Amino acid sequence: MLFRFCPSSVIIVFCCLVNEILVSTEIWPDPVDDGREKYPKPTTWANKHYGQWCRNRTISKYIQCPMGSALHYYSCCGETDTECCFRLQPTVVAYLLSIQCFLRYSNSIIRL
């Protein structure tokens, strides 16, 4: 048999199902207040804003960061993790470092 039912596998499946139920019942407030205006949550994909949400439930503070791009993104930072900080995408950092290493290596070969 490829998959045998044993007590540990049943417990794992049960825990996964319970986790799905608990996560799906989380309720967020409908109005989003960004300090300028109140507007309802988007109901279609065309209206959805894909910016990072910075949430701190202990102080009930919810802030949505601006939307990122292929080159950058925003992450949560600050003392309460409710501020938006600019970050470069990891692939951009890797490309910049590899270009810098290539240029240094090629300059050292040319000098020889």
> Per the structure, how many domains does the chain have?
1
43 inside domain: no
Q: Which residues contact 71 (CB under 8 A, 6 or more apart)?
A: 88, 89, 92
Question: What is the value of pTM for the model shown?
Answer: 0.47
**pLDDT tens per residue across span 19-55:** 666 555 555 555 555 555 555 666 666 666 677 888 8
Exposed (0-12), middle (13-18) or buried (19+): which is 18, by Cβ within 10 Å?
exposed
53 inside domain: yes
54 inside domain: yes
79 inside domain: yes
Residue 56's closest CA among 86, 77, 33, 25? 77
**pLDDT tens per residue across span 27-37:** 555 555 555 55
1 inside domain: no
**Domain, as residue range, for 63:** 49-112
